Structure 1
Amino acid sequence: MKKIFAAAVFFTALSINAQFTVTIKTPANFKEQDAVLYTLNGSKDIIFTKETAKKNVWTFKYPKNYVGMMKVTLPNTNNSFNFISENKNVDITLETDGDKVKNIVYLDEANSLMNSIQEGSQKKEMILPALVQIKEYYKGTSDFGKALDTEIAKLSNKTSSDFSTHPFISYYNINYNKFLVAENSKDVKQDDIINFIDKSNDMLETSSLLRPVLVSYLNVGGNNNVTASVDKLLERLKVETPRGQVVLSELIDIFDAYDMKEFKTKYLTQAKNLKCTITDRLAATLKTNANVEMGATFPNYTFYSATNTKMKSLADVKADKKVIVFWSSTCSHCENELPQLLPKYQEMKAKGIEVIGLSMDTDKDAYTKKIAAFPWINDSELKGWNSSYGEKYNIHATPTYFILDANNKIISKPDHVGDVLEYLKLK
């Protein structure tokens, strides 16, 4: 299970004069009171502020110009949803069922249009091929056949709309279609992508396009030319610039997520050795990586609702060695690997070794059923990739393992459960 996660630091808007407002309405019976607003920088969600509902309405006042993707999370009910800002008021109504958001109604013009475009794109990608296949077997001229022809023609329509009054929608859709839609991007060259990244305005960082475009850039260059491709891009962007540092940070995370250790090490070292002013974005990448370097003291974590222990935090757990595993009940690799610890657990305990599982789950029932079989310490914030420890411990995939000594220093970072058992001489 892989996911690019997001988290940052709270700050509060000081100005009462908003450039625009984000208004979110919920039904009277929806119990959630808190909502957190995020902006975007590359692939990182940046927390802007937290608001409390007043009569089931949240109103966020944004004090400066912002054009791009935004997100709101409802932390107590574990809901989240995305929308866009074109520096104009955003108006959203949530339709709920119990504590779950079942539908999002975008009432402002920009989000209504963006939602319509994305729904059309999803239908074209997922439904059109099926309709074409059905048509191959259905030669009739009945009303059903005519309806098929009409829907196929509608979904096949390639006419472009005029988004001149919607700068972000125009930017997003033009560049998404050019660089990330397979049928259009097959003729895109590396220089085309370099020019796009170099010449784009600030919407590149706020559009959510940067990371997938960088992955596309690396794929175009091929696996045998990764260093040459990255060096060429960074030389053009100038790594001392804010854009260059965002791209460098994204590349480090990409290499981490795809287990390309050689390249991650090379460009992380380059980032560490920069003599210029470091942006907050790159500083965050450096910090999370420093947290989990070999020999580093593993940052403490206060348990949320831990089982099989009375300890309040990870540091409170006393053991000669600790095996930390980040996992999820939806992760197939976890399903295969974690049960292999079960027959060894009592032997581990006898040797002074404790296992601590930190789950990236969101579904309480699924998580609870899984941990019923796990006798070691288990904990989960039930926030998935929005869990606080995702950013703190630089987690890009599950399962991820760390082995700590009695002083909570990292002494091993095994790739698989077999490596854990081998390191602990339990195989």
Structure 2
Amino acid sequence: MKKTFTISALLAVFSLQAQFTVTIQAPADFKDQDAILYTLNGSKDIIFTKEQGKNNVWTFKYPKNYMGMMKVYFPGSNNTFNFISENKNVNVRLETQGNKVKDIIYLDEANEIMSKFQEGSQKKELILPALSQIKEYYKDNTDFGKALKAEINRLSGGSEGMDQSQHPFIYYYNTNYNRFLSNNPAKKPTQDEIINFIDKSNDMLETSSLLRPVLVSYLNTGGNTNVGTSVDKLLDRLKVETPRGQTVLSELIDIFDVYDMQEFKDKYLSLAKNLKCTITDRLASTLKSNANVEIGAAFPNYKFQTPVNTTAKSLYDVKADKKIIIFWSSTCSHCEEELPKLLAKYNDLKSKNIQVVGFSMDVDKDSYTKKIAAFPWVNDSELKGWNSSYVDTYNVHATPTYFILDANNKIINRPEHVADVLQYFSLK
């Protein structure tokens, strides 16, 4: 009898074929319970799901095809590690000490190969130039010369010998990294070649972590005086109405934010705001983060985690005529230079009913605690570094970042440096 399949049955078959699992093992003394699995879109980590460990094993079931970078984050201990998916099961064993991940053992073939490739890539960029110079002083027919030549040949190799059908993402990543981002590319790519790559590449571009550095390389290729022309040329090819065009537009807005290129950020943020087509989640996230911190916007409230120097439960509970918000870190050299200048004027600010609220991007609790002992203003931290919720909510790309709020928590100024803060209050 001939078998027939309904559409739902076919979909079920494809779902079963596409599904893979990510299994993480940790020692018995590792105390975290929760783990969060992320996928990647451009440079933005996307939360997929949270799982609780069972006997210190975390199992994530991914229900569809995915080839690209992934990440697992343990929020309790702030441990993070990255790996890849080639739409096959992923198995990782963690070695830990004092509830910190000390080593990552990749047990599946794809991640083991990728780990070796990345280790080799680091050696290629750091060691290969030196070995090439040393080689000039040794003859090829000596034992050392032969060994040196073999090592140079090994480090010079790329993905050429890899079976692309067996490891498509590794092949994609390494081939394009070597082509566009290596310190020693065989030939420096032109703008047109980079545009063609971004335009014609498959979906692994968004999941590979290559997109943002390739865009930075593209802008550098065009030169500082041609940024607008370069961006317009790229977006004209991609079309901002398309998903890739919107992802690239979002990445460019963030790049201009990071590099303090305000003119270009404003121009392309305005372009994004005025789009009449359906907006992708990626671009919508960028628009929301920027809208949250525009001059005149109500600074989003924040429920304090473990606040110091206040009994307030949230940012809005802190009452003052004005507030100075600082995003900082104890490991930030600019913060080390700037915050003492604010501290010197703190009593003057307090006399004017101006309160300072510091949100730390720290990870290490001891470092954070020692530093805030000298700061009499309101302090709080999630102790999650760049995994903190502040990053997306308040569009934070660097430390220190300052905001000045009025009594109603509306943003009235966005100073770049502590000197601008003090000048705003005539305390410089």
Q: TM-score, normalised by structure 2?
A: 0.92
Q: Which residue of structure 2 aligns with residue 155 of structure 1? A: 155
Matched ranges for 1:350-361 at <5 A? 350-361=351-362
> Unaligned 5+ residue runs, structure 1?
1-14
Q: Secondary structure at the match of 1:170?
A: helix
- Deviation digits for residues 161-186 of structure 1 (CA, Å, limit 9, x no counterpart): 21321110111111110011132175
Q: Does the C-alpha gap of structure 1 residues 43 and 426 become closer, same or farther in structure 2, counting only changes over 3 Å?
A: same
Q: How does 1:179-218 map to 2 (within 5 A)?
A: 179-184=180-185, 187-218=188-219
* Structure-to-structure mapping, 1:8-27, within 5 angstroms: 19-27=19-27
Correspondence for 1:82: 82
The 8 Å contact of residues 34 and 52 in structure 1, kept in 2 or not, is answered as yes
> Which residue is equivalent to 1:391?
392
| 2:110 is aligned with 1:110 | yes
The secondary structure found in structure 2 opposite 1:183 is coil
CA contact (8 A) 2:159 2:174 kept: no
Q: Secondary structure at the match of 1:182?
A: coil
Counterpart CA distance in 1 for 2:387 and 2:290 is 18
Task: Name the structure 2 match of 1:12.
Answer: none
Moved more, 368-377 or 80-89: 368-377
**Amino acid in the other structure paired with 1:112:** E
* 2:91 match: 91
Instruction: Tell me how far 1:128 sits from its aligned partner.
Output: 3.7
1:125 aligns with 2:130: no
Measure, in 2, the Cα distance between the counterparts of 1:89 and 1:226: 43
Instruction: Report the alpha carbon displacement of residue 146 of structure 1 after superposing the two structures with TM.
Output: 7.6
TM superposition shift of 1:156: 4.3
Aligned to 1:366: 367
Within-5 A mapping of 1:274-293:
274-293=275-294
Query: Residue 132 of structure 1: CA displacement?
Result: 5.8
Q: Return the letter of the residue paired with 2:416.
A: D
The aligned counterpart of 2:54 is: 54
For 2:296 and 2:64, locate their aligned partners in 1 and report how far apart those are by CA, in whole Å: 42
Task: Kindly state the Cα deviation for residue 372 of structure 1 after the two structures are TM-superposed.
Answer: 1.2
8 Å Cα contact 1:198/1:236 also seen in 2: yes
- In structure 2, distance between residues paired with 1:217 and 1:132: 29
Q: Describe how 1:168-183 pairs up with structure 2 within 5 A.
A: 168-183=169-184
Distance 2:142 2:377 in 1: 63
Deviation at 1:145, TM superposition (A): 8.2
**Which amino acid in the other structure matches residue 31 of structure 1?**
K
Give me the whole-angstrom Cα distance separating, in 1, the residues matched to 2:176 and 2:158.
15
Shift of residue 211 of structure 1? 0.5
Q: CA deviation at 1:355?
A: 0.6
Shift of 1:28: 1.2
Indicate the residue corresponding to 1:261 in structure 2.
262
CA distance in 1, matches of 2:285, 2:311: 32
Tell me how far apart the structure 2 counterparts of residues 174 and 288 of structure 1 sit (CA, whole Å).
34
Q: Are 1:312 and 2:301 matched, yes or no?
A: no
Whole-Å separation in 1 of the counterparts to 2:32 and 2:261: 41
Q: Which has the larger radius of gyration?
A: 2
- Tell me the CA shift for residue 138 of structure 1: 9.6
C-alpha displacement of 1:313: 0.8
Q: Distance in 1 between matches of 2:395 and 2:253?
A: 11
Read off the aligned partner of 2:337 and give its amino acid letter.
N
Which deviates more from structure 2 when the two are superposed, residues 396-405 or residues 156-165? Answer: 156-165
> What is the CA–CA distance in structure 1 between the aligned matches of 2:260 and 2:123, rounded to whole Å?
33
Higher relative contact order (CA 8 A, sep 6+): 1
CA distance in 2, matches of 1:175, 1:326: 36
What residue is the counterpart of 1:244 in the other structure? 245
State the distance in 1 between where 2:237 and 2:60 align.
38
Between stretches 145-154 and 241-250, larger displacement belongs to 145-154
- Consecutive unaligned residues of structure 2, counting only runs of 5 or more, are 1-13
Q: How far 1:343 moved relative to its partner?
A: 1.4
1:421 has 2:422 as partner: yes
- Rounded to whole Å, the distance in 1 between the matches of 2:154 and 2:387 is 38
Cα 1:144–1:352 shift into 2, 3 Å: farther
Q: Given residue 88 of structure 1, which amino acid in structure 2 is its aligned partner?
A: K
For residue 154 of structure 1, report the CA deviation from its aligned partner: 3.9
Check 1:330–1:146 CA distance in 2 against 1; reply closer, same or farther (3 A cut).
Answer: farther
Check conservation: 2:320, 2:407, Cα contact below 8 A.
Answer: yes
Shift of 1:228: 1.0
Q: Once superposed, what is the RMSD of the aligned Cα atoms?
A: 2.1
Contact 1:74 1:80 in 2 (8 A): yes
1:63 maps to which residue? 63
Listed one character per residue, the Cα deviations across residues 21-71 of structure 1 (whole Å, up to 9, x for unaligned) are 000001111111110000000000000000000011000000111111100
Query: 1:127: how far off?
Result: 3.4
Q: CA shift at 1:195, angstroms?
A: 0.6
1:332-385 per-residue CA deviation (whole Å, 9 max, x = no partner) reads: 111100010111101111100011111111111111111111111111111100
The percent of aligned pairs where both chains have the same amino acid is 74
CA contact (8 A) 1:249 1:282 kept: yes
In 2, Cα distance between equivalents of 1:138 and 1:327: 52
Deviation at 1:125, TM superposition (A): 2.1
- Cα contact 2:15–2:64 (8 A) shared by 1: no
The alignment status of 1:321 with 2:322, answered yes or no, reads yes
For 1:340 and 1:36, how far apart are their aligned partners in 2? Answer: 39
Aligned to 1:397, what secondary structure does the other structure show? coil
Match of 2:235 in 1: 234
The offset of 1:122, in angstroms, is 1.2
Is the Cα contact below 8 Å between 2:125 and 2:184 reproduced in 1?
A: no
123 and 341 in structure 1: CA distance in 2 versus 1, 3 angstrom threshold: same
- Are the structure 2 counterparts of residues 186 and 416 from structure 1 closer, same or farther at C-alpha, using a change threshold of 3 Å? farther
SS at match of 2:426: coil
Aligned positions, number: 412
